Chain A
């Protein structure tokens, strides 16, 4: 097993990357061991660019990246021993079997365990003797996960791993990741725009839009603090309520979305509002509000 050498699973500082018509950063982000961090954003937000910089597929214009304290220098392969990477495309040898591909990857990872890889493949119902070009998309994703975990890395980096998978395979993959993070040793950095994927897994969420982090928060805090509130209020032509980001009114009935429902409720009681009701929001609904730019002022990630 690898031994993490530093506090953070990864640390990104001042990362900048520019393309024609798109600019990422400056981005600061870190991840502690044992934490599952979901990177959320619409297509083109910069999620894959961030991940590609992290795993050394892209050279940024500026910024420093470390993995368990080691800089992700392109010529120093040691930091790669601490990570497992699952992308949408993996570059496997298509005419080789699953076993041949895993053996190939294993030759380049000092901590590789054939037994571990076989065990995972078995658990996934992934035939070792099938050629990669005969595998379904779901089974290719399973192979990518087994190949990424065969050397027991402490940091798993996932870029849209469930894209295009049917619900059953998706659930299997998520179960596997759930088991993996239960031991509290693995850090997982999970990029997706399918929020239901990380609703169960993530401890923290980072929202990325137009190459900038717009919010980083604990998932439970987010779910706890965001509410839809309805109430009846006779007076008040103009209403200014703390935490409210959206307000609709039909005669005396008001419907608001609040990112700090406790503060909003307190203010409403002070105003003498009646028939106050509030309901939790799903992560999907919250994310939409945040990514629409309503959720929070722009802040740097911690």
Chain B
């Protein structure tokens, strides 16, 4: 499974790198007017860029008809399904790691000392974005399930996606949950949606796209 994930990441590495360069450029632009905001802006921009690319990856892979490569590979459908669902999350995790490193280095470079809240802000944002990076993949799986007349799957998927976004949103808006708890909840939702995307792919009737 990880061989598939790493191959996709290797193939898309220049796109990911370009996203990160754009994030860096954005942070520099902000730093021109407010130098102190550079570390935090850099971290958050890197996370947003990574999440955007992560969300886009399933569309790009589908456009290249990647699933037609699977008959050439001695690999089971379950592994393919897991790899497809985990690839966007992996991009987000990598982007978050780079963002935390960048934020830390930014604070140190500006001689501001380590602001723990600031350093972990990218992590909190990434946690909130985790469910969103699966949206493109899930939307496609729901479309396929609808086309294949798998009505039960469509209903379950729409219900799960709706609940997956409503629960963290309600928790955030109500302000009842502490920030780490809200972030953990969002991560749990992201993980559940990843499992859902993988399961829907495994239940497909046709892998031709």
For B66, the chain A residues whose CB sits under 8 A away are 91
For B7, the chain A residues whose CB sits under 8 A away are 93, 104
Does A236 sit within 8 A of B, measured CB to CB? no
For A75, give its contact among B11, B72, B78, B204 (CB under 8 Å): B78
For A77, the chain B residues whose CB sits under 8 A away are 73-76, 79
Contact A85 B72 (CB under 8 A): yes
Contact B73 A80 (CB under 8 A): yes
Interface CB pairs A-B, < 8 A, 23: A57-B68, A57-B208, A59-B204, A59-B205, A59-B206, A75-B76, A75-B78, A76-B76, A77-B74, A77-B79, A80-B71, A87-B68, A91-B64, A91-B70, A93-B7, A93-B11, A93-B64, A94-B64, A95-B11, A105-B73, A107-B3, A147-B72, A151-B74
Contact A109 B73 (CB under 8 A): yes
- The chain B residue sitting closest to A93, CB to CB, is B11
Majority secondary structure, A binding face:
loop
Does B67 sit within 8 A of A, measured CB to CB? yes
Given contacts A94-B64, A108-B3, contact A56 B69 (CB under 8 A): no
What range describes how many residues of B lie at the interface? 20 to 34
For A74, give its contact among B69, B77, B206 (CB under 8 Å): B77
Does B18 sit within 8 A of A, measured CB to CB? no
Most buried by A among B69, B202, B205, B207: B69
Does B143 sit within 8 A of A, measured CB to CB? no
CA–CA, A73 and B205, complex, Å: 13
- The chain A residue sitting closest to B149, CB to CB, is A20
Does B65 sit within 8 A of A, measured CB to CB? yes
For B68, the chain A residues whose CB sits under 8 A away are 57, 87, 89-91
Majority secondary structure, B binding face:
helix
Contact A81 B74 (CB under 8 A): yes
CA–CA, A74 and B204, complex, Å: 11
Question: In the complex, which residues 174-209 of chain B have their Cβ closer than 8 Å to any Cβ of chain A?
Answer: 202, 204-208
For A93, the chain B residues whose CB sits under 8 A away are 7, 11, 64
Give the total of A residues in contact with B, Cβ under 8 Å. Answer: 34
Question: In the complex, which residues 140-182 of chain A have their Cβ closer than 8 Å to any Cβ of chain B?
Answer: 147-148, 151
The 8 A CB mask of B73-104 against A (1 = contact, 0 = none) is 11111110000000000000000000000000
- The chain A residue sitting closest to B68, CB to CB, is A91
Does A92 sit within 8 A of B, measured CB to CB? yes
For B71, give its contact among A56, A75, A104 (CB under 8 Å): A56
Does A110 sit within 8 A of B, measured CB to CB? yes
CA–CA, A291 and B72, complex, Å: 32
Contact A108 B64 (CB under 8 A): no
For A124, the chain B residues whose CB sits under 8 A away are none
- The chain A residue sitting closest to B14, CB to CB, is A95
For B208, give its contact among A52, A75, A147 (CB under 8 Å): A52
For B71, the chain A residues whose CB sits under 8 A away are 55-57, 80, 83, 85, 87
Q: Contacts A58-B207, A90-B68 given; 13 further ones with Cβ under 8 A?
A: A57-B67, A57-B207, A74-B76, A74-B78, A74-B202, A75-B78, A76-B76, A78-B74, A90-B69, A90-B72, A94-B64, A107-B3, A110-B74
- 4 interchain residue pairs of minimum CB distance: A91-B68, A108-B73, A91-B69, A74-B77
State the Cβ distance, A83 to closest chain B Cβ, in Å. Answer: 8
For A104, the chain B residues whose CB sits under 8 A away are 7
For B205, the chain A residues whose CB sits under 8 A away are 58-59
Does A96 sit within 8 A of B, measured CB to CB? yes
For B79, the chain A residues whose CB sits under 8 A away are 77
Contact B64 A105 (CB under 8 A): no
State the Cβ distance, A152 to closest chain B Cβ, in Å. Answer: 13
For A90, the chain B residues whose CB sits under 8 A away are 65, 68-69, 72
CA–CA, A75 and B69, complex, Å: 16
For A74, the chain B residues whose CB sits under 8 A away are 76-78, 202
